[in-house]
Amino acid sequence: MHKDELLQLLQDPDICQEILLIIKNGGKPVAHAAPAASGDKLAAIRSQLQQASAEKKAVPSDADKLAAIKAILHKKAAEESKKAQGIVDAYAAMDVLSKEISPDKGLDMSKVQDEDEDDVSGVPSDLGGSFADKLALLRNQVQKTNEERAAEKKAAEEKKAAGGMAEKYTFVLERPCPVCGMDTHVVKCKSRLNAESTDLDLCIHYKDFNPYLYRVWACEHCGYAADEQKFIRHMPEKTQEKLMQFLQTADLAMPFVEERTPEQAVQYIEMAILFNELADPSPNRRANLYLIMAWIYRYNGDKEKEAAALDKAAELFELSLDTENYPVDKMSDTLATYLTGAIYVLRKDYDKATRHLSRIISNQSLRSTAPKIYEMARDMWQDVKDAKAKG
């Protein structure tokens, strides 16, 4: 059809209306009869419009081709990226696994974080070195102790048979372990002990016996160790699960013995500190464990190790006073402040001692609420003042 013919047809209103309907319908024929006078020409126009629409759909535009190519390239790049990331992840997982698990050390629990109230993320190492190093050291000590105890048990049986047993200040009970739940033997000290003197940091010296050797209880089945009061306290379920997972590979369990040596007692305290770092954020409880350790060394006459334990106790008491809400267990902030000052007096750090003792004697309300601590702090503060004056 020529251009002139098409222009002539477009002058017909019915034909124009039909063309508009076909265009609106996407080039498809409209379901009604065309005007009779122009039927043939209208059919020809409809046929040409349909053919043009079909050809337009059959041949994609350059933009359509470019979009299709981009989609294919994007899909291919995504598949390659996913494949490469899978390889990277596999190697990364192998690397982490090789660092955290070894035949002799087991699981490195220094990377474990609790999700409940006993979160230990960021807790500093108190014993020196990494958590894994301390665990390896304690594991070796436990193995050595187990060997020594076999010999000790034999010697004790021979001594008992010979009638050479000394007076007993302890008795044995069974208590459920807060971690594994099994009944374990623990040692309790008799309440009536003969006290001879008390040191500035409240270490009591008893005649012929050292009860501080038994302040930490330990489970003979799983190896968990803690101060007596913490051992019998309810443990959160999440903490229990985490400790149980740790103890399955820790190899810290030791057979029960009723009579401990100072070395064994210190080992139990170190284990309790390890568990405190793992599942208890309280620096006050660690400070108390180090203070008990210092008292054991004092009983044993080891001044160098006593000094190191006292320094750590003072450091943790100061951290506790700055970060914890008191009372902690049964300890008030006044008592924690007094102990910190007393430790610094024993270490002859008089400036720090004065700072802590002054907090007590400047609080006049303590005269009535904590009179004994107030009087001890006042007397000690005066002794420090005199010592500083003498130079």
Is pLDDT larger for residue 204 or for residue 59? 204
116 lies in some domain: no
Task: State residue 168's pLDDT score.
Answer: 85
Is pLDDT larger for residue 372 or for residue 135? 372
Over residues 310-323, mean pLDDT: 98
Tell me how many domains the chain contains: 2
pLDDT band, very low/low/confident/very high, at 132 (cuts 50, 70, 90): confident
Show the tokens assigned to 261: 């040596």
Task: Give yes or no: residues 199 and 237 share one domain.
Answer: yes
pLDDT band, very low/low/confident/very high, at 317 (cuts 50, 70, 90): very high
pLDDT band, very low/low/confident/very high, at 53 (cuts 50, 70, 90): low
47 lies in some domain: no
Task: State residue 25's pLDDT score.
Answer: 66
Task: Give yes or no: residues 174 and 273 share one domain.
Answer: yes
Among candidate residues 280, 305, 321, the one where a domain is terminated: 280
Task: Give yes or no: residues 242 and 169 share one domain.
Answer: yes
249 lies in some domain: yes
Among candidate residues 257, 280, 303, the one where a domain is terminated: 280
Over residues 42-62, mean pLDDT: 58
Please report, as a single letter, which amino acid is at residue 304. E
Task: Give yes or no: residues 234 and 134 share one domain.
Answer: yes
Task: Give yes or no: residues 145 and 252 share one domain.
Answer: yes
Q: What percentage of residues in the chain have a pLDDT greater than 70?
A: 62
229 lies in some domain: yes
Express each pLDDT in 349-370 by its tens digit. Answer: 999 999 999 999 999 999 999 9
Task: Give yes or no: residues 298 and 355 share one domain.
Answer: yes
Task: State residue 119's pLDDT score.
Answer: 41
pLDDT exceeds cutoff 50 at 42? yes
pLDDT exceeds cutoff 60 at 30? no
71 lies in some domain: no
Task: Give yes or no: residues 135 and 258 share one domain.
Answer: yes
Task: State residue 16's pLDDT score.
Answer: 67
Is pLDDT larger for residue 291 or for residue 161? 291
pLDDT exceeds cutoff 90 at 158? no
309 lies in some domain: yes
Task: Give yes or no: residues 268 and 255 share one domain.
Answer: yes
Task: State residue 22's pLDDT score.
Answer: 67
What residues have CB less than 8 Å from 326, skipping those under 6 apart?
332, 333, 336
Lowest-pLDDT range, 2-16, 32-46, 358-372?
32-46
CA 358 to centroid of chain Cα atoms: 36
- Alpha helices, DSSP H only, in the chain? 3-9, 13-24, 39-58, 62-100, 131-161, 228-231, 237-250, 262-279, 283-300, 303-323, 333-346, 350-361, 366-369, 371-390
Task: Give yes or no: residues 274 and 294 share one domain.
Answer: no
Neighbours of 185 (CB within 10 A): 16
Kindly report the CATH number assigned to the domain that includes residue 386. Answer: 1.25.40
Over residues 104-110, mean pLDDT: 40
Terminal CA-CA length for the chain: 123
Domain containing 233: what range?
A: 128-150+165-280
Express each pLDDT in 280-314 by its tens digit. Answer: 989 999 999 999 999 999 999 999 999 999 999 99
The closest of 76, 78, 111 to 96, measured between CA atoms, is 111
What does DSSP say about strands 183-189 and 216-218: parallel, antiparallel, or unpaired? Answer: unpaired
33 lies in some domain: no
Is pLDDT larger for residue 39 or for residue 236? 236
Please report, as a single letter, which amino acid is at residue 353. A
pLDDT band, very low/low/confident/very high, at 125 (cuts 50, 70, 90): very low
Task: Give yes or no: residues 174 and 291 share one domain.
Answer: no
Given a contact cutoff of 8 angstroms between Cβ atoms, the answer to whether 175 and 210 are in contact is no
Task: State residue 124's pLDDT score.
Answer: 40
Is pLDDT larger for residue 121 or for residue 326? 326
155 lies in some domain: no
Task: Give yes or no: residues 266 and 306 share one domain.
Answer: no
Among candidate residues 280, 304, 332, the one where a domain is terminated: 280
Task: Give yes or no: residues 182 and 255 share one domain.
Answer: yes
Task: State residue 8's pLDDT score.
Answer: 63
Task: State residue 390's pLDDT score.
Answer: 83
Given a contact cutoff of 8 angstroms between Cβ atoms, the answer to whether 223 and 247 are in contact is yes
